[in-house]
A and B are shown apart, each in its own frame.
Chain A
Amino acid sequence: MTSTQIRSLFPALQTKVYGRDLLYLDNAATSQRPRSVVDCWEKLTLETNGNIHRAVHALASRATEAFENTRERVRAYLNAADTKEIIFTSGATAAINLVAFSFSEAFIGEGDEVIVSLSEHHSNLLPWQLACKRKKAVLKVLDIDEFGALEVESLQKLISERTKIISIPHISNVLGLVNPVQEIIAVAHKNGVPVLIDGAQGIVHCKVDVRQLDCDFYVFSGHKVYAATGTGVLYGKKEWLEKMPPFMSGGEMIDRVGLQESSFAPLPQKFEAGTQNFNAIPTLVPALELQESILGSAELISEQRELLDYILEEFKKRPRIRLYGTGSAKVPLFSFSVEGAHHEDLALILDKMGVAVRSGQMCAEPLMDRLGVSGLVRASFAPYNTLDEAREFIKCLDRAVQML
């Protein structure tokens, strides 16, 4: 399978913007959707739209089957031990909020500590910040080195007997480096501390095996990995999830409800309050199927490598460009600044050339402060982006810089 072949599966890539071919390089924000995902959603919506689990009629049972089959498919994809460990959410943010709330209710008290990293997306910082405030706990931060890599060697010093959980990204949405999560988890577990991996970007670039990683929680959003928006997954080890109280309540998450006291459903329903996004969640099936073949294609892997090397080479030739996040663990996600050019100006001009990039703080203000910048430009590539597109991007970037 080649990037050109993959492209044909994504109708949105044929879009014209301002009369030009769209060059979509904002994949870290959201990927485009393949025809199979759109078809899946359409079929469910048009043919089996019934609210899942409770009703006895045919539509509801078909919708329930699609939903629960997805749970099994996601379990298998992540190599989780049990479907009870797969909780559907609206996205990675919702999943982290769930854990930050419910885990802290059960396990975090005054004076306890939570560790996050400096390279967090706000979605893996704010839920913990709020939880720590609520519980009068302390939020500690694992720093990054000059290349943007997590300072894993200082993790052991950061951990104390009050450390209750460590929550770190698999890949930072700004730096684009695969963090040594296996090593972090090993250090944490040696100290008896569980680890949550924010896999919002990790799921896109890495084959994830939660049992091999031995992480305690892994979260991701469907829309970054070709599935419909509003879909997300929380994987959690049963032994943790069972001890955590519900996050949101109402709907099917109940066992028995009284006016003053109620009991709640077992896993996974305990954490799935309210009507689920049942027409969208099953799009994870075709999406992960595609992802599996993408990650398994030697041809695509080598194309991605070539594209990565090409951009790194071209950036190196241009002394005004500064790339943030470098090293051998790099994925094709490039956040950079250009000396003398504002990130917003660059993004606006690139947009008018048909090139979609992200600019600004990218939901990572503390990281921007640490890097000493007001914002950056980010070009994030997907396997459907070709080397020709990378060349076109560099050409457009040169022209934009020249205009400024």
Chain B
Amino acid sequence: MKTLQEKKQEVVENFSVYDEWLDKYEYLIDLGKSLPPYPEDKKTDEHLIKGCQSRVWLDAKIEDGRLWFSADSDAVITRGIISLLVDVYSGCTPEEVAGDDFGFIGEIGLRENLSPTRSNGLVSMIQTLQAIARKNV
């Protein structure tokens, strides 16, 4: 299994191919469309992440000491971002997620270049991931 570091590196490399913003978005949209289905019965307020213009639902379970995330959004670009986070952090230990700086988001330019409300949504999403991880440490 790839380490957290390797998975983050892979995401950064995948994004480095694109110079144009629209190409980056096209890639995010593709990622968003290929996100595995999220159970409808978990689209509840308790799974909803506040702070996004679009709605985001996040669910986590812990198996053999590792966290597994699933998520969804009604907007496809947000789904793309979620899919990155879900892929990178699923299978990590709670300690790894809680201790991570999520700096790779900045490296692929998403933090700076997404709209301010989106950026806040991203921040809320990251905070929620960290909160879940801390609870399970």
Same complex for A and B? Answer yes
A345 and B26 contact, CB distance less than 8 A: no
Closest CB of chain B to A344's CB: distance in Å? 5
Q: How far is the CA of A348 from the CA of B28 in the complex (A)?
A: 12
Write out the residue numbers on chain A whose beta carbons fall within 8 Å of the beta carbon of B16. Answer: none
Contact of B29 among A344, A352, A404 (CB under 8 A): A404
A342 and B74 contact, CB distance less than 8 A: yes
Closest to A359 in B: B53
Contact of B76 among A342, A347, A353, A374 (CB under 8 A): A342
Q: How far is the CA of A240 from the CA of B76 in the complex (A)?
A: 52
Closest to A348 in B: B77
Write out the residue numbers on chain B whose beta carbons fall within 8 Å of the beta carbon of A353. Answer: 22
Question: Would you call A209 an interface residue if the criterion is a C-beta within 8 Å of the partner chain's C-beta atoms?
Answer: no
Contact of B22 among A343, A352, A360, A375 (CB under 8 A): A352
Contact of B25 among A343, A344, A352, A360 (CB under 8 A): A352
Total chain B interface residues with beta-carbon distance under 8 A = 17
Closest to A352 in B: B21
Closest to A361 in B: B53
B77 and A374 contact, CB distance less than 8 A: no
Total chain A interface residues with beta-carbon distance under 8 A = 17
Interface centre among A18, A348, A353, A404 (most CB of B within 10 A): A348
Tell whether A349 pairs with B22 under 8 Å between CB atoms, given A374-B55, A404-B29: yes
A344 and B22 contact, CB distance less than 8 A: no
Question: Would you call B137 an interface residue if the criterion is a C-beta within 8 Å of the partner chain's C-beta atoms?
Answer: no
B118 and A349 contact, CB distance less than 8 A: no
Q: How far is the CA of A359 from the CA of B114 in the complex (A)?
A: 14
Interface string of A369-404 (1 = CB under 8 A from B): 000001100000000000000000000000000011
Q: How far is the CA of A404 from the CA of B118 in the complex (A)?
A: 18
Question: Would you call A351 an interface residue if the criterion is a C-beta within 8 Å of the partner chain's C-beta atoms?
Answer: yes
A344 and B53 contact, CB distance less than 8 A: yes
Write out the residue numbers on chain B whose beta carbons fall within 8 Å of the beta carbon of A403. Answer: 22, 25-26, 29
Contact of B54 among A344, A352, A404 (CB under 8 A): A344
A351 and B115 contact, CB distance less than 8 A: yes
Interface centre among A18, A345, A351, A359 (most CB of B within 10 A): A345
Interface string of B87-131 (1 = CB under 8 A from A): 000000000000000000000000000110110000000000000
Question: Would you call B70 an interface residue if the criterion is a C-beta within 8 Å of the partner chain's C-beta atoms?
Answer: no
Q: How far is the CA of A223 from the CA of B21 in the complex (A)?
A: 31
Write out the residue numbers on chain B whose beta carbons fall within 8 Å of the beta carbon of A404. Answer: 29, 76
B26 and A344 contact, CB distance less than 8 A: no
Question: Would you call B83 an interface residue if the criterion is a C-beta within 8 Å of the partner chain's C-beta atoms?
Answer: no
Q: How far is the CA of A351 from the CA of B54 in the complex (A)?
A: 16
Within 8 A of B (CB), among A319-345: 342-345
Within 8 A of B (CB), among A351-373: 351-353, 359-360
A349 and B25 contact, CB distance less than 8 A: yes
Q: How far is the CA of A279 from the CA of B21 in the complex (A)?
A: 40
Q: How far is the CA of A375 from the CA of B74 in the complex (A)?
A: 11
A348 and B25 contact, CB distance less than 8 A: yes
Write out the residue numbers on chain A whose beta carbons fall within 8 Å of the beta carbon of B114. Answer: 348
Interface string of B50-80 (1 = CB under 8 A from A): 0001110000000000000000001111100
A375 and B25 contact, CB distance less than 8 A: no
B26 and A18 contact, CB distance less than 8 A: no
Write out the residue numbers on chain A whose beta carbons fall within 8 Å of the beta carbon of B115. Answer: 347-348, 351
Q: How far is the CA of A343 from the CA of B52 in the complex (A)?
A: 12
Contact of A360 among B21, B26, B117 (CB under 8 A): B117
Within 8 A of A (CB), among B5-62: 21-22, 25-26, 29, 53-55
Write out the residue numbers on chain A whose beta carbons fall within 8 Å of the beta carbon of B75. Answer: 342, 344-345
Q: How far is the CA of A184 from the CA of B65 in the complex (A)?
A: 66
A375 and B53 contact, CB distance less than 8 A: yes
Write out the residue numbers on chain B whose beta carbons fall within 8 Å of the beta carbon of A374. Answer: 55, 74
Write out the residue numbers on chain A whose beta carbons fall within 8 Å of the beta carbon of B54. Answer: 342, 344-345
Closest CB of chain A to B53's CB: distance in Å? 5
Closest CB of chain B to A402's CB: distance in Å? 11
Closest to B55 in A: A374
Write out the residue numbers on chain B whose beta carbons fall within 8 Å of the beta carbon of A360. Answer: 53, 117
Q: How far is the CA of A403 from the CA of B25 in the complex (A)?
A: 9
Interface string of A207-227 (1 = CB under 8 A from B): 000000000000000000000
Closest to B26 in A: A403
Instruction: Give A contacts to B, CB under 8 Å.
Output: 18, 342-345, 347-349, 351-353, 359-360, 374-375, 403-404
Instruction: Give B contacts to A, CB under 8 Å.
Output: 21-22, 25-26, 29, 53-55, 74-78, 114-115, 117-118
3 closest Cβ contacts across the A-B interface?
A342-B75, A352-B21, A344-B53
Contacts A348-B25, A352-B21 known; list 4 others, CB within 8 Å: A344-B78, A348-B115, A375-B53, A403-B26
9 contacts between A and B (CB under 8 A): A342-B76, A344-B53, A344-B54, A345-B76, A351-B115, A374-B55, A375-B53, A403-B26, A404-B76
